[in-house]
Structure 1
Amino acid sequence: MKDLAKKLGANIKAKRTEKGLAQDKFAELADLDRSYVGRIERGQVNITVDKLYALTKVLGCHARDLLP
């Protein structure tokens, strides 16, 4: 399961950087703490579906685009 979280986090980070968003701005737009977004991107936490959809809304993509 840990590998899944790491791959998801890497995909989120890649999409965020592709969009030109700094981590702090991304966190603000998703209404999440910046340090929590950092842990997500490093694959250190398992996020809820609600949080995944909050991130996809900011990134302008579908959840399937981020899932490994």
Structure 2
Amino acid sequence: MNNVKDIEYIKRFGANIRSLRIEKKMSQEELAYSSDIPISQVGRIERGEINTTISTVKAIANSLNLPIKNLFDFED
């Protein structure tokens, strides 16, 4: 279990969330408010600094009005 936290994957996930948010013309503040999570957490997720929870991923997907799978649609 040495590689449970894949830093590169977490960073790519965050970058994808940022891209989707910008595509929806939402600010971090708007996403945070509609997801009911702190704005600082949105920033940390987008920068790949934290490995977020499943419930937070669901809240973000709902706020972006996207299926959860779209948040993970960054893989080759």
Amino acid at match of 2:36: D
Q: Which runs of 5+ in 1 are unaligned?
A: none
* CA–CA distance in structure 1, aligned partners of residues 67 and 51 of structure 2: 18
Q: Which runs of 5+ in 2 are unaligned?
A: 1-5
Q: TM-score, normalised by structure 1?
A: 0.95
Q: TM-score, normalised by structure 2?
A: 0.85
Q: CA deviation at 1:3?
A: 0.8
1:11 matches 2:16: yes
Instruction: Give aligned-pair identity as a percent.
Output: 35
Work out the number of aligned pairs and report it. Answer: 68
Greater share of helix:
1
Aligned pairs for 1:1-68 (under 5 A) are 1-67=6-72, 68=74
Q: CA RMSD in A?
A: 0.7
Higher relative contact order (CA 8 A, sep 6+): 1
Measured against aligned partners, the alpha-carbon deviations of 1:13-62 in whole angstroms (never above 9, x if no partner) come to 00000000011111011001001100000000001110000000001111
